[in-house]
Amino acid sequence: MVLSFAGTIAYITLTGRPPPPLDDVATFGFVPFVPLISAIVAVLIIGPALAWYLSRPLRHLRWALRRAAEGRFDTRVQPLMGGRRDEIADLAGEFDRMAAQLQQVTESRKVLLHDISHELRSPLSRLQAAIGLLRQDPSQTDAMVERIQRESERLDVLIEELLTLHRLEAPAGLVRERVDVIELLHAIAEDADFEARPLSRQVSIDAPGQFVTQVNGELLYRAFENVIRNAVKYTAPGTVVEIHATVSADSAQLVVTVLDCGQGVPAPMLEKIFEPFTRVEGGESVRGVGLGLAIARRAMKLHSGRIEAELRDGGGLIMTLCLPAAAEATNTGEEWSR
């Protein structure tokens, strides 16, 4: 009704035409009859229709939120929105993206828990078997004690890797400090080469200059160390693991490549090897818990970097790690200590 009056006044003002005599207009008291009927129609018909149009998607969202609270993250609201293109439809799309991420995280945690239970059960079973054999035949004390010590060390490494993986999933309070990453690489390469020599392998590094940036030194060390040690494990005897590090012209990014001469991995597994407890078929003879590359990827992601794998001509892998300078913490809720 207000719009009707405003439109009428605007029309009369702009056209200059005088309003009709009040005696010729049907009124209800002082209110003209036609705008009054228009207002009643708007209230009784258009109002409920508009309320239904706005409340229906909100009911869908409430239903979806209740299902998500029950842990049913496969719920999607966007298909129920029809052809809507308003803010409520955008909110439904955001809900679907949130539900998809929660579903992915939940499923990955289930798989991780299953893999952890399997990985813990194997050394524990061997420990129990060694203890049982030791009780039956005390003459095998030395062999069984060696086996128990080996399995205990494996459990210790597994637990340490799991704790590191957990820290990367919930990295609140991690300290960021100024670190020369090139110097860090030289230290890792020197230690890896020392350990590789008895295995008839070598590690060479080509990393000139400096790359000083704000990072968590411990996690970044673990990332590079895991990649380099993994290359040393799988490269063939008598070969060299090559490490190359280059800084971009504007010093905004460090690119590190690690090349080995091993058997490589099947092309479909180039992405899967970064998932926890993933092992390549034929690599059973190499000791490890399958968490090194997963830790490396999450540590690089935490520093806004990335890590990728590709097959090397002639056999082996090329691991590429890219680290930006002055990396800011990713949007995962962590708070960096200054």
Q: Which residues are catalytic?
A: 118
The contacts of residue 261 (CB under 8 Å, 6+ apart) are: 235, 236, 239, 240, 241, 312, 314, 315, 316
- Residue 182's CB is within 10 A of a number of other CB atoms, namely 18
Is residue 272 within 8 Å of residue 278, measured between CB atoms?
yes
- What does the radius of gyration of the chain's CA atoms come to, in whole angstroms? 33
Give 285's DSSP letter: T
Spatial distance between the Cα atoms of 180 and 168, rounded to a whole number of angstroms:
21
Cβ contacts of residue 271 below 8 Å, gap of 6+? 309
Say if residues 325 and 254 touch (Cβ distance below 8 Å).
yes
Report the C-alpha gap between 210 and 208 in whole angstroms: 7
Residue type, 321: L
Torsion-angle region of 290 (φ positive above 0: left; ψ -120 to 50: alpha; else: beta): left
Question: How far, in Å, CA of 106 to CA of 11, rounded?
Answer: 62
Pairwise CA distance, residues 314 & 270, whole Å: 16
Torsions phi, psi for 123 (to 5 deg) = -65, -35
- The token pair at 206 is 């080509």
Pairing of strands 202-206, 240-247: parallel
E strand or H helix at 105, and its extent?
A: helix 87-136
Q: For the chain, what is the total number of helices (H) and then of strands (E)? A: 8, 9
- Give the C-alpha distances (Å, rounded to integers) separating 330 from 4, 106, 173, 276: 54, 21, 13, 21
